[in-house]
Amino acid sequence: MPTPIDLRSDTVTQPTPAMREAIAAAPVGDDVIDVDPTVEQLERRTAEILGKEAAIYMPSGTMTNQVALRIHCRPGDEFICESGCHIYNYEQAAYAQLSGLAVRPVQGDEGVLKVDQLRTLIRPDNDHLVRTRLVCLENTHNRGAGRVLPHDGVVEICQWAHENGLATHLDGARLFNAVAATGIAADDWASHFDTVSVCFSKGLGAPVGSALAGPKDLIRQARRHRKVFGGGMRQAGIIAAGALYALEHNRQRLTEDHQNAQFVADGVRRAEGLRLDPERVDTNMVIFRVDERLGPASTLVAALKQRGLLVLAIGPDQVRAVTHLHITASDAARAAEILVETAADIARGERPALAEEPAY
């Protein structure tokens, strides 16, 4: 059986030989006692690209988001976010577990919030109420199928937040996809936010890590919180070298992933019983619905797996496919054909014996 085409996520990539060479050659030190030179270089370079004073390397995007919440808020504070975002849905309510925060999720349109939805949400200063402290946005938006937030809308929301005494944080796990899709530079996107997190282990293809960037004083505080969350890493230059390699070599090529996602989306459009939802594909993610005639999404996912295409069921009738570093244009075209053929076969009554375990 040939190697499957793995579109489950852009986190499935393996370090390339050149990246492994960079990892093997990396100078390292104890980054908890004082400094690891490769981590330091990665942090400096990330801050520079994002136009921020400083950045700090952490093991995961979840940790960068949670540390950001900690530095902006105190227990009993509330943050506003879009209701489909990662911080609200996929981090085990760590804002409550770890930091004693409340959340005010607001339903966006395919992940996109408008400032007019937020204007009335700042709670008055009153002993009965939580204190509204922070707005978090996500760009690109994962559950919004990789949607790029409209730049004007981001500027409006951040301006409104700052004028009203709120801090702003960007979950930019896939910010470089937004950069590749729009041509708007990372430091422009980042300039509207107090803090920004970016991931090296998604579209950029590094094995481990994320960074949080912002003003020096906040990043100094972030270092303390990273330690208490268990994220102080010793000779972390070993993994930071992969991240640094990814940052320097894999940003420009993200447009290829976006083009390949269009091929996959085209397969969904042609397939019987499948429907893009949302219809628009901005970057490297394709989310689609499975008509009930084909059975649950998990049935389709199992049938696709048997034919060498891996995707994720992210809801009872919802499937996600994500392109990345290891997916070529011909893989994407082949994936589209597998989608068309498999949906047609299931519609004719050919079903796999076992459904896949749903991942949502």
Ligand X SMILES: Cc1ncc(COP(=O)(O)O)c(C=O)c1O
Q: Residues in the site for ligand X, rule: CB under 6 A?
A: 60-62, 65, 86, 138, 142, 171, 173, 199, 201, 210
Q: Which is nearer to ligand X, 201 or 284 (CB)?
A: 201
DSSP state of 328: -
Q: Which two tokens stand for residue 24?
A: 């093997």
Of 186 and 340, CB closest to ligand X: 186
What number of helices (H) and strands (E) belong to the chain?
13, 13
- Which CB atom, from 111 or from 352, has the smaller least distance to ligand X? 111
Closest approach, Cβ 141 to ligand X, in A, equals 7
**Shortest distance (Å) from residue 135 CB to ligand X:** 16
Looking at beta carbons, which residue is closest to ligand X? 61
CA distance linking residue 169 with residue 65, whole number of Å = 8
Find the shortest distance in angstroms from Cβ 256 to ligand X.
20
Minimum CB distance to ligand X, residue 132 (Å): 22
Phi and psi for 246 in degrees, rounded to 5?
-60, -40
The tokens for 311 are: 């995707």
| Residue with smaller CB distance to ligand X, 225 or 334 | 225
The rounded distance, in Å, linking the Cα atoms of 2 and 308 is 7
Min CB(209)–ligand X separation in Å: 8
Closer to ligand X by CB, 62 or 132: give it. Answer: 62
Residue (of 79, 339, 99) closest to 194 by Cα position: 79
Q: Least distance to ligand X from the beta carbon of 171, Å?
A: 5
Q: Where are the alpha helices (DSSP H) in the chain?
A: 17-25, 37-50, 61-72, 86-89, 94-99, 151-163, 175-182, 186-191, 216-228, 237-249, 254-270, 297-306, 329-347
Q: Give 70 or 334: the residue with its C-beta nearer to ligand X.
A: 70
| The two structure tokens encoding residue 116 | 């007019």
